[in-house]
Structure formats: C-alpha cells, structure tokens
Amino acid sequence: MQTRPGFLYSLLASFVAVLLAILLPVPAPAQVYAGRPKLIVIVVIDQFRGDYLNRDESKFTGRGFKLFMDQGAWFTNCYYDYANTKTAPGHATIGTGAYTDGHGIETNEWWDASRSFDFKVSSVEDERYQLVDLPAASIPANQPGAPDNAPRFVVGASPLNLRATTLGDELRLATQGRARVYGVSLKDRAAILPAGQAANGAFWIDTSSGQFITSTYYMEHLPEWAHAFNASGRIAQAEREANAEGTTQFFNLVGRTPAANRYELDFARALIDGEKLGQNGVTDLLVISLSANDIQGHQFGPDSDSEERMILSLDRDLGSFFDWLDQSIGLKNVWLALTADHGIAPVPGEASKLGVNGVAVDMEKVYDKLNEELNKRYSHGSHQDYLLPGPDLPYIVLDKRAFKKAGVDEKAAEDEVAELLPGAVASQNPNPPPFLTLMPPTVNHPSQHRLPPAPRVQYVYTRLQLANGQLPPTDWGRLLAHSYTEHGNWFVMAVLDAYQMEGSGQFAGTTHFSPWSYDRHVPLAFYGAPFRAGVYQNRVAPVDLAATLASLAGVNQPSACIGHVLTVALQPTQPSNR
C-alpha cells in the first residue's frame, strides 16, 4: 500500500523529471556513424540482372557479394523506370540519379543531325579531344605518330552529351575541387558517364592491346602509376588467364572472361594508391564498371554455365578487392554501392523451349519492308532510303532529308512509319499459323504443342508524341516520358512483345533494350556505417543511389536527380554529434 510520503516523493520525482526535460537537451540515440567517409566506391556490373544474387546466394563465399547481402542494405526489387535499357543511359542514370529525359543519353550511339548524316556518333565521342597514350599499333590515322597501316579514324571522348551533373560532380563542387573523382571500365562510355563532367579522370582500354587509356578531356598524359600498370606484365597475365595469349582482340577475347574483372579491379587498386584516394581530407569517389559480364552475356545468355562461372568468380574477386580496401583505407572509412546498368533477356530459343513467346526479329528485313512500302507511297518510281541505316531498337530513325524531299512533314512521316511497323514486324514470322500460308512452317519449333513464337509490335510511339507528352497518364506513360531526349532526328520508338528482340541469321545470343522487367531489374545494395543491414523488398530504382549517397554526404543532389533517399535502410543519426 502506498504511503503518503511515498506519494509526495513520487510527485517530486515527476516534477524534477519534467523540469530536467525542459532544461536539458533530449538524450540522443547512440552515434552510429561519425562524419563522412574517406572514399565512396560504386561498383557497377555491366548487364547484371537483379535475380542473379538470389539465384546464386547459397554459393557465395567470403566478403564479395555477401558483404552487401549479409552486412549491408540489399534491395532486391530495383527496377529502372525507363524503356531504353542500354549501357550508356544506364551508366548515366547511376551517376546522375536521372533518366534519359534528365541526362540526355538515350542509347550507346545515335544519329546526331547536328553533327553528321554519314555516321552515328557514340554517346561519348568528341572530336575536340584525342585519346591519350595509345599504344603505337593503335594510333589512328588522324593522330600524330600513326603507323603506315593506321587502323582507323578515332576521336577523343568526353561527357559532352551528358546534360546533368553526377554525384561526383557535386562532391567536386561542394569541396571546390578538393574531392577526387574517377571512373574505370573496359568501355569508354561506362568510365566517363557515371563519373561526370568535373571528374579528375576516366580510364578505359584500348580494345586491341588491353592497355588503359584516357582522353585529353582529362589529361595530356597518363599518370605514372597508369604507365607502370600498363608496363607491368598485367596484360599478359590477363591474356594467359583467358587463354588468349598475344591476342590483338583483348576486349573481345579477354574481356568476356572472369580474368577481365580481376584485371579491372587490379587497375582500380593501382588508381586508389596512385591518386591517394581516401587521403584528401574530403570524400573521394571511384566508379568501377565491370564490363566482362556484358561481353560474355550477349553471347551465352543469363542461364548458361559460363554466366554462373562468371558470377562466382566475380564474387571471389570482389571479396579480395574489398579485403584489400579494408587493409589499405579501412572499410569503416568507406561506403560501397553495388548496382548494374541493365538486366538481360533469356536467349529467345531457351525461353521458347518453355513456351514463352521468345523470338529474334531480323530488323534489317523489317527495314527493307518499311522502305519498300514507303517507296510505294512517296517515291513515284525512284528508290529512296527513308530510314537511317543500322537498326538499334528501341529506336527507328527516319531520314528526314528523304521525307522532306517527298514533301512529307515530321508528323505525317512518323505516323506513317508507326502505322507500317506492326505489319513489317509481323511479316517476319518464322512460323506463321497454318491459315496464313499454304506452305508448312519453315522452322521446327521445339514446343510445337504450345503457341509458336510470333514477332509482334506491342506499342509504337512517334517522337512528336513523346516530345509533346501525349502518353497515357499511368506508370507506363511515365516510363516512356523518362526515355525521351532529342538529337535533331525524326524517329519512332518501338516496343516488341516481351522476350522478343533484334537478331538475325545464326543469332543465338540475347540482348537488352526494352521496357520489360528482365531488362530493368538490377541489384541495388549498399555497405557502410550509415546503412542498416537487411534485405529490403520495397520497389526502388537506380536513381535512388545518387540521391541517397548525396544526402548522406551532405551535398546537393545531382542537377536533374529525381531519386528518393532510401531512408528505410539508414541508421538513425545523432544531430548533436554531426
């Protein structure tokens, strides 16, 4: 039973507690991370579908993928929210936190009406600059020191087409240039675009020799440490590991093997050491894009034995790279992020064996068919090419010069191509239903008891529709709007049925380009002090990577960033100790 003095004591205690609460600051939760990291490393795996980590989870060892999956924040449902899932736009998205309508990169190479109608330009080629320190045998005809049999016309590279800043750019701006920012890949576009405009450097390889090079956009000569790496015998080692000794096709023959990932990660170590990343008193950034999985994946597909070997080998190589980072800079001082630039479709033949409507469509034949029909309508006898050559879905680019000559304006031209396209694609049917032909099917399909694959256009949109926002007010419409930019051309954007893609002749590979889930699904994972370890199944997007890291680093989000900060995976912070 409570006594009266006890009650008074209790009242007094409550009064003191209230008084203290008013006068003293609220006790904060324990500090979970102190300040900003010395280094952020973003690992991008070129062509790596989100489900790969689930599929091989039980086979991972050490601190490779498991560092993210067991000790980091692993988002299992990360999907690009646009329809043009290619390498250049994907890497631009990872850096900028924006899609094509924000960063301006719609595919790997395109017809740029302001530059030339004779050839496509790549997303990063820039004739104002030159490639730096090319090996003698690779110096092209347009550069000093070219050999007599100079291989080809090659220009320098820069982020000239990137219309938005990146996380790296914002780190550079916020520190008045003290933060050091680099990109590394086998591919120029994958080194340049995620690093950004203000990057200190981007390094990729000379495709024949495998030597790392750069562009005069960044520097006049390679740094000493990069020269030393190129001269170290590391190239020969990679060639031996890939059974391609002495090759002059390093990119193709070594690039498609696990040896290429080790080669790139060793270059990244040399860069971190050589440029003293993590020792500048501010947060530095390195983006490493690992190209091997893409080079191999196009040939053998996501369900091959070689794909699994690549993944398990990369797991070990990432593990040893992270162990090295721990010894050199300390993982407590580093934030890591993991993602990919796009996923991939199964090989059409593999999908169709299960009854899924997988098929490769010969787009050259589709172009022939379209040109035939357009000539009938507009040419009056003389033959014209109404499409710019080199089909590259999802875009079909019109030759506006030919239409203008025929007195046809953009709207009429694009509407016409959009109307003709479904018929031109359907006419490529390798296995037409019996009622459409008197001939027997020309292709023996392995799942004849199920529906045979039939090439089909699901949707087609004209440039004018995309530019004017004449899109459904739905998630689908937003996805298309995110895919739009312009380079002075008339075009239509084609969406084939799911699991259908461009391919001809003996095509036995696969590709990525579409708005379908398998092309958009990528991993997203973080490791580092600010992150709450766990598996997160909420729907997120690659644009959230830059938004989250910018927020944690205390800098502005990149200029066109539309990502969300992934607060669900963040540790609570202690304001008073920031």
C-beta closer to Zn ion: residue 186 or 396: 186
C-beta closer to Zn ion: residue 103 or 234: 103
As a whole number of angstroms, the distance between CA 241 and CA 262 comes to 10
CB of 190 to Zn ion, least distance (A): 7
CB of 294 to Zn ion, least distance (A): 5
CB of 572 to Zn ion, least distance (A): 37
Unique residue bearing structure tokens 């910018």: 550
Helices 87-96, 543-553: inter-axial angle, 10-degree rounding: 30
CB of 344 to Zn ion, least distance (A): 9
Burial class of residue 30, CB neighbours in 10 A (0-12, 13-18, 19+): exposed
As a whole number of angstroms, the distance between CA 453 and CA 425 comes to 13
CB of 513 to Zn ion, least distance (A): 10
As a whole number of angstroms, the distance between CA 260 and CA 65 comes to 18
User: What is the distance between the terminal CA atoms of the chain, rounded to a whole angstrom?
Assistant: 48
As a whole number of angstroms, the distance between CA 188 and CA 121 comes to 13
Q: Which helix (H) or strand (E) holds 185?
A: strand 181-185
Closest Cα to residue 78, out of 518, 570, 514, 524? Answer: 524
CB of 48 to Zn ion, least distance (A): 9
C-beta closer to Zn ion: residue 275 or 519: 519
C-beta closer to Zn ion: residue 84 or 230: 84
Unique residue bearing structure tokens 């690039």: 255
CB of 92 to Zn ion, least distance (A): 12
Q: Give me the residues that bind Zn ion (CB under 5 A), please.
A: 46-47, 87, 294, 341
How does 111-125 read in b/e, with b if 16+ C-beta sit within 10 Å?
A: bbbeeeeeebbbbbb
C-beta closer to Zn ion: residue 93 or 375: 93
C-beta closer to Zn ion: residue 275 or 341: 341
CB 504 within 8 A of CB 350: no
CB of 293 to Zn ion, least distance (A): 9
C-beta closer to Zn ion: residue 203 or 386: 203
CB 514 within 8 A of CB 501: yes
CB of 194 to Zn ion, least distance (A): 12
As a whole number of angstroms, the distance between CA 129 and CA 126 comes to 6
CB of 288 to Zn ion, least distance (A): 14
- Phi and psi torsions of 118, nearest 5°: -95, -30
Interior CA angle at 437 toward 436 and 438, to 5°? 140
- Phi and psi torsions of 346, nearest 5°: -65, 155
CB 531 within 8 A of CB 571: yes
CB of 435 to Zn ion, least distance (A): 41
Q: 3-class secondary structure for 217-284?
A: CCCCCCCHHHHHHHCCCHHHHHHHHCCCCCCCCHHHHHCCCHHHHHHHHHHHHHHHHHCCCCCCCCCE
* Pairing of the two strands 109-110 and 121-122: antiparallel
C-beta closer to Zn ion: residue 157 or 272: 157
C-beta closer to Zn ion: residue 294 or 315: 294
C-beta closer to Zn ion: residue 341 or 497: 341
C-beta closer to Zn ion: residue 307 or 341: 341
What the block records as the tokens of 241 is 């590991």
Strand ranges inside 463-529, DSSP E: 490-496, 500-502, 521-527
CB of 168 to Zn ion, least distance (A): 19
C-beta closer to Zn ion: residue 234 or 520: 520
